Amino acid sequence: MAMYVLALDQGTTSSRAILVDHTGAIAGTAQHEFTQIFPEGKAGWVEHDPFEILTSQLTAAVEVLGRAGVRPRDVASLGITNQRETTIVWDRATGKPVYNAIVWQDRRTASMCEQLRNEGVEEDVRRRTGLRLDPYFSGTKVSWILDNVAGAREKAERGELAFGTVDSWLVWNLTSGKKHITDRTNASRTLLYNIVEDKWDDEMLRLLRVPRSMMPEVVWSSEKLGPVSTTLGLEGTEIAGIAGDQQSALFGQMCTKPGDAKNTYGTGCFLLQHIGTEFRESQNRLLTTLACSTNRRPEYALEGSVFIGGAVVQWLRDGLGIIASSSEVEQLAQSVPDSGGVLFVPAFTGLGAPHWDPYASGTIIGIGRGTTKGHIARAALESIALQTTDLMRAMNADTGVPLRELRVDGGATANDTLMQFQADLLGVPVHRPACLETTALGAAFLAGLAVGFWNSTDEIQRVQGEGTLFTPQRDYDALYARWKEAVERAKGWNA
């Protein structure tokens, strides 16, 4: 009998592979970082090499099996979770990308989105897709590739090109080009999928000038999809789960009922709340997106996205050079009692929800002669929690039912100072699970349920540990008011 499920967790800065056993415990991990490409002279552009994404992910998969001494026949199924919205277009005949992957953070299509908004189509777009017209999403990125790569649009019109988010690219290569698919959670992030009618939307394809022939088949997040047919000792392993990283984390936290919510603190921050089986349009500049479903019926979530979360700590390390490793930031932040009046708006790639300003600029305000690197570090950490508070307040206004608890995951949640500050800001308990790998666990759970490795979500919940609860201890209303003022000053700077 197979003893493990293998989760491939393809993220923005690294590709990871995780083995999960029947108790939900992590039996092995492997991780490989890959290159972040910032084209010279192109502010706001972010790219990845699609083949580097693929090779880093396959290397991690083989490595984790080797480290754990696990044979492919010991693996019941394989689940994939991935950075969402990142866009790849490739030649169906050769399998070669026609351009680098354009990353979700990339802002090159801001003017295209602004032009479409000026044409008055955004409300119709929201009613169809649950999304806003923003360069964050895949649709305008596809259109840009077709317009800017020589011969690409002509090839696409002839049906020779395929589009996919990263999950599609991985599955295509894992199955030797036999499967061109995506799941509903990833499809719902493209600006091209009608999440009310549950299909690719002809009007959106027309509006963004994307040929329908490029689109992958859309599958359920937990479903047998076929075996791996290629390479590296994974042959025959059943691909049985796919979910965009944030929906995967929502499922990994077992937020499967209306009202359940989680926030992931990764490169960005992503707050999702399950709202049930009925589409609801946000009135507070949030998104409506598809959640993972094991019942083969569309389920929905409200989502707020912060573009720069944990990445602000990477900037302190790589850009400012005031820490040598990300783990040092908590100690540096604790070297001062507070931020000394410094506020840090990390709008390096514009502002996401609920502001949606692609022209906002990173801003540090309140600096004085007494400001130290400790104050900067503390303000950077606090910015992560302050941005999350923006999302939570908008979500509470949408639902009319204030959240009673926030479940959290992602690398930055290991920082106790940040988690306590978050609980204080929100005024509700913050629950950190025993295992922080909820994104990978979500993909593993989806893949395991599809093949009977686990029988139900109830069984999964029984094997999860207790975790840590952070309860509110202080009032930061005055600080939050100043934060809102700082955000307003950062807006529109690059317009």
Binding site membership for glycerol: which residues? 84-85, 136, 245-246
Determine the 3-state secondary structure of 448 from DSSP. Answer: helix
Residue list, annotated binding site for ADP: 12, 16, 267, 310, 411, 415
Tokens 């991935």 correspond to 82
Other residues' Cβ atoms within 10 Å of the Cβ of residue 290? 25
CA angle at 303 for the pair 204 and 477, rounded to the nearest 5°: 140
Determine the 3-state secondary structure of 423 from DSSP. Answer: helix
Other residues' Cβ atoms within 10 Å of the Cβ of residue 298? 18
Measured distance CA(233)–CA(61) in Å, rounded = 9
List, in sequence order, every residue forming a beta bridge with 138; answer none if it has no partner: none
Measured distance CA(224)–CA(218) in Å, rounded = 13
> Is residue 135 reached through a cis peptide bond, with omega within 30 degrees of 0 on the bond before it?
no
Residue list, annotated binding site for ATP: 12-14, 267, 310, 314, 411
- The candidate with the shortest Cα–Cα distance to 254, out of 246, 263, 262, is 262
List, in sequence order, every residue forming a beta bridge with 264; answer none if it has no partner: 270, 409
Beta-carbon contacts of 12 under 8 Å, excluding residues fewer than 6 positions away, are 83, 86, 103, 104, 105, 266, 267
Q: Quote the longest CA-to-CA distance of the chain.
A: 66
Structure-token pair, residue 333 = 């932040």
Query: Taking the CA atoms of the chain, what radius of gyration do you get in angstroms?
Result: 21
**Residues making up the chain, counted from first to last:** 495
Residue list, annotated binding site for sn-glycerol 3-phosphate: 12, 84-85, 136, 245
Measured distance CA(57)–CA(203) in Å, rounded = 35
Q: Give the residue ranges of DSSP H helices in 192-325.
A: 202-208, 245-252, 311-315
Q: Which H/E stretch holds residue 327?
A: none
Measured distance CA(242)–CA(251) in Å, rounded = 12
Residue list, annotated binding site: 12-14, 16, 84-85, 136, 245-246, 267, 310, 314, 411, 415
Other residues' Cβ atoms within 10 Å of the Cβ of residue 149? 16
Tokens 């990833």 correspond to 186
Measured distance CA(6)–CA(302) in Å, rounded = 29
Measured distance CA(457)–CA(352) in Å, rounded = 32
